[in-house]
Amino acid sequence: MSQPTLPDIDDVRRAAETLRDVAVRTPMEESRWLSSLAGGPVHLKCENLQRTGSFKARGAYVRIAGLTPEERERGVVAASAGNHAQGVALAAQRLGIAARVYMPEGAPIPKERATKGYGAEVVFHGRHLEDALAEARAYAEETGAVLIHPFDHRPTSAGQGTCGLEILEQVPDVKTVLVPTGGGGLLAGIALAVKALRPDVRVVGVQAAGAAAFPESLASGHPVALQQMQTMADGIAVGLPGEVTFSLVRDLVDDVWTVGEESLSRALLSLVERAKMVVEPAGAAAVAALLDDPRRVETPAVAVLSGGNIDPLLLGKVIRHGLAAAGRYLYLRVCIPDRPGGLARLLAEIGEMGANVLEVTHERISPSLAIDEVEVRVQLETRSAQHAEDVMTRLRERGHRIQE
């Protein structure tokens, strides 16, 4: 792989000037809940409160603001699952430039609507970001529109690096920065800014395990495309790192960790409950890594909440998934005597233990049941994983034959 032209700290500083009246200096909130788990201060960099709801507005604006008058006349085209789309649409609107955005099928509805709301034309194409990006490239070649890549361009990485400058200003004694990572634009930009000014700070990327292109790419020494991806975190579902981002991550980032789907949903739920922050699954990746192993992070630490653009329907599903992962739901199969009052006694015992019954069904035909038994399938709402264990223990002590 040929070495691309990489940005430097001066590019990041110039980007900060370009964004002075455009991007929001997002809040940095200390999290007592995460701090207690990690054994030291943990802060949340709230890019979910950035304009357009994610960090993408930074890089997209810097890239588009640098176009020549002739390039602006031709318009811009981009591919995005939603956050970059909104950043491009906002920048194009502010600068008076026509914009077309290709989105993969199934992109979140709020992201589509917001992109259109900023004045961009939206076209759906393909299942994954790479499909939409290929179509955007074809459109650029056909029409002369300027392709605004979601992460693989020098000004874009410099723009994302302005988040790193803010982190150092807001938490001067930071030791570790955790960054949600897809194609690597935010991670590369933050690492560039942080390592230039504080090379002692540890910078760690966090990817969804079902869409983790960086570990294999870094091990191979060049970008390697994933053959398939499966994750709820559409904002970081990128199957191939870019050349610019790969080079910066390879040279500057200390480690890349992965987190599973249950960890993502638990983190999202915890951020809603404990931090009062609404984020999308991708935006919760850094917190998910903290929750997986809080003590492996040297504090003071900063976890970047990279985006908050989540479909309310998906939010409901993820919250339910997170509740289940946190032991707040319990599904039991309980064998009881098939006679009057048997179900009532079971439900009364469950109620005495403070569990809430959500659903009850019966199963009478099963070779595992005695002739005078019935299987009751019960879905319960519990207070915690320990409470769920206590409920099962009490039911067994009272003679019930149960299966989780």
Domain of 269: which CATH number? 3.40.50.1100
Which pLDDT belongs to residue 369?
67
In a domain, 338, yes or no: yes
pLDDT bracket for residue 322 (50, 70, 90): confident
pTM strictly above 0.75: yes
Which pLDDT belongs to residue 370?
67
Look up residue 197 and give its two tokens: 């000014």
In a domain, 2, yes or no: no
* pLDDT of 1 higher than 60: no
**To the nearest whole number, what is the mean pLDDT of the chain?**
92
Which pLDDT belongs to residue 2?
61
Mean of the pLDDT values across residues 171-181? 98
Do 130 and 175 belong to one domain?
no
Which residue among 115, 147, 179 closes a domain?
A: 147
Closest by CA to 333, choosing from 311, 358, 357, 363, is: 363
CA angle, 34 then 40 then 42, to 5°: 45
The identity of residue 288, as a single letter, is A
Look up residue 219 and give its two tokens: 């091990």
Q: How far apart are CA 35 and CA 356, in angstroms?
A: 32
Q: How far apart are CA 88 and CA 120, in angstroms?
A: 8
Which pLDDT belongs to residue 181?
97
Do 201 and 293 belong to one domain?
yes
Q: How far apart are CA 360 and CA 378, in angstroms?
A: 5
Mean of the pLDDT values across residues 199-222? 97
| 205: β partners | 179, 256
Which pLDDT belongs to residue 300?
98
In a domain, 1, yes or no: no
Query: pLDDT digits over 58-81, tens only?
Result: 999 999 999 999 999 999 999 987
Do 135 and 28 belong to one domain?
no
Which pLDDT belongs to residue 333?
86
Do 177 and 194 meet the contact criterion of CB atoms below 8 Å apart? yes
Residue with more model confidence, 339 or 204: 204
* pLDDT of 353 higher than 60: yes
> Residue length, the chain?
404
Do 239 and 320 belong to one domain?
yes
Closest by CA to 253, choosing from 295, 293, 218, 300, is: 218
Do 49 and 308 meet the contact criterion of CB atoms below 8 Å apart? yes
Closest by CA to 194, choosing from 204, 184, 209, 180, is: 204
**For the packed helices 154-170 and 185-197, what is the interaxial angle rounded to 10 degrees?**
50
| 176: β partners | 202, 301
Q: How far apart are CA 67 and CA 63, in angstroms?
A: 7
pLDDT bracket for residue 368 (50, 70, 90): low
Do 161 and 210 belong to one domain?
yes
* pLDDT of 229 higher than 60: yes
Longest dimension (CA), the chain: 84
* pLDDT of 84 higher than 60: yes
Closest by CA to 317, choosing from 117, 108, 177, is: 108
Look up residue 112 and give its two tokens: 């589509």
Q: Which residue segment(s) compose the domain that 48 sits in? A: 9-52+154-324
In a domain, 204, yes or no: yes
State how beta strands 176-180 and 301-305 pair.
parallel
Which pLDDT belongs to residue 109?
81
In a domain, 263, yes or no: yes
Query: pLDDT digits over 242-294, tens only?
Result: 999 999 999 999 999 999 999 999 999 999 999 999 999 999 999 999 999 99
State the total domains in the chain: 3
**For the packed helices 83-95 and 109-117, what is the interaxial angle rounded to 10 degrees?**
10
Q: Which residues are catalytic?
A: 56, 306
Do 162 and 226 belong to one domain?
yes
Look up residue 239 and give its two tokens: 């199957």
